Amino acid sequence: MSHLAIFRTLISIAILLSAATLYAQSIDSSYHADYDWVKMPEGQRIGVPSGVFPDPDGQHIWVLSRCGENHCALHPEVDPILKFDLEGNVVDSFGAGLFSWPHGFFLDNEGFLWVTEGAPVGDERLVEGTRRGLGHQVFKLNQQGEVVMTLGEAGVAGADERHFNGPADVVVAPNGDIWIADGHRGGNNRVAKFAADGTFLMQIGGGPDSISGDPGRFNDPHGITIDRQGRVIVADRGNNRTQVFDQEGNLLKVWTQFGRPSTVFVDQHDILYAGDGMSDERWNPGWERGIRIAPAATGWITAFIPDREVAVGTGVEFLGVDLEGNIYSGEVGRERLVKYVRVRP
């Protein structure tokens, strides 16, 4: 090997080591996990946190929980919508008896809260809700807990313009358009778009039998968000990928670098956070569970928070980010909310 070739090799190694060091720092130093941030009232548990969203006042965090465990239909007396201060104390709560198995959560520009019922036909978690006439709906509530609009028919599944089958998540565009990932495992495998008044506009994919790995189709679309460019970003979990669409439903990108994402969230700086709590040898061999962070515009991952407890149930399936860049991770298998405190830019 010539001296020039050796020199080039050494330079390449140095660059790779430098990049590896920066990446390791982004993994190990960017965030500190606070497992005890949540301070529930005495005698209460948070259970599964299935949605997190910061209040625009910068002083509060809204959390959708499953009533102390993983099923609200079994505990109709417990409030699933919780408002926390930044110290983790519950300052308000409501929603008792409204939901069977709340799944998706969003706070829109006007301050309305949106909740989806995520259990599809055939899911055992739907049984008790069906008995009580609940399920397959999307709710819009004000911050006093009053329901101001619903989409879908209570307790009735379907794949048409007026019905859902376990809708997994919801996001509302700045102009008021409503985008719904419908639905959860075994659901309709579609994304549906509605006008602000609930008028059906269009759908991508559709029907329980439409499960597909083709670009622009879905297998368990589990999370949905909108970036600052107005692009609709879908966590297509069953296909181990994220898909990006324009407002007309045209496919723009297919990203596989986020592992097996259950949740996607875009903050006010247009940074995308994708939570992968299910990658393992069964679902997505060779991938590590955790939270991947990237500019939404490019999708290039700049930081990764690994899940160091992969053997203890599923990890992050829901997340939100506050105005300071701290991440709140809802873990289903462990029934807890972890706050990842940002400790450096």
Contact 171/106 with Cβ under 8 angstroms?
A: yes
Q: How far is CA 328 from CA 14, 63, 100, 306, 310, in A?
A: 36, 9, 23, 14, 18
144-149 mean pLDDT: 98
The reported pLDDT for the residue numbered 345 is 59
State both tokens at 286: 């060779």
The C-alpha atoms of residue 341 and residue 48 are separated, in whole angstroms, by 20
The C-alpha atoms of residue 242 and residue 342 are separated, in whole angstroms, by 25
pLDDT tens digits for 258-307?
999 999 999 999 999 999 999 988 999 999 999 999 999 999 999 999 99
Contact 49/330 with Cβ under 8 angstroms?
A: yes
Q: Is residue 200's pLDDT more than 70? A: yes
178-188 mean pLDDT: 93
244-258 mean pLDDT: 98
The reported pLDDT for the residue numbered 20 is 39
23-49 mean pLDDT: 82
The reported pLDDT for the residue numbered 6 is 46
- pTM, entire model: 0.91
Closest CA to 48 of 72, 24, 26, 20: 72
The reported pLDDT for the residue numbered 208 is 76
Q: Is residue 23's pLDDT more than 70? A: no
CATH code of the domain made up of 3-342: 2.120.10.30
The C-alpha atoms of residue 122 and residue 165 are separated, in whole angstroms, by 10
Q: Is residue 207's pLDDT more than 80? A: no
In the structure, what pLDDT confidence band is assigned to residue 26 with cuts at 50, 70 and 90?
Answer: very low
15-26 mean pLDDT: 39
Q: What percent of the chain has pLDDT over 90?
A: 82
Contact 109/115 with Cβ under 8 angstroms?
A: no
Chain-centroid distance, C-alpha 160: 24
Least confident of 17-31, 127-141, 163-177: 17-31
* Cβ atoms within 10 Å, residue 17: 10
Contact 262/237 with Cβ under 8 angstroms?
A: yes
96-103 mean pLDDT: 97
205-214 mean pLDDT: 88
In the structure, what pLDDT confidence band is assigned to residue 1 with cuts at 50, 70 and 90?
Answer: low
Contact 114/61 with Cβ under 8 angstroms?
A: no
The torsion angles phi and psi of 228, rounded to 5 degrees, stand at -70, -15
The C-alpha atoms of residue 329 and residue 227 are separated, in whole angstroms, by 20
The C-alpha atoms of residue 296 and residue 286 are separated, in whole angstroms, by 24
Higher pLDDT residue, 122 or 243? 243
Q: Is residue 324's pLDDT more than 70? A: yes
The reported pLDDT for the residue numbered 343 is 86
The reported pLDDT for the residue numbered 306 is 93
The C-alpha atoms of residue 197 and residue 177 are separated, in whole angstroms, by 9
Least confident of 74-88, 121-135, 165-179, 269-283: 121-135
The reported pLDDT for the residue numbered 310 is 57
The reported pLDDT for the residue numbered 206 is 86
The reported pLDDT for the residue numbered 17 is 37
Closest CA to 94 of 112, 79, 76: 79
Q: CB under 8 Å to 22, separation ≥6 — which residues?
A: none
Query: Is residue 281 packed enough to be buried (19+ CB in 10 Å), middle (13-18) or exposed (0-12)?
Result: exposed
First CA to last CA distance, the chain: 42
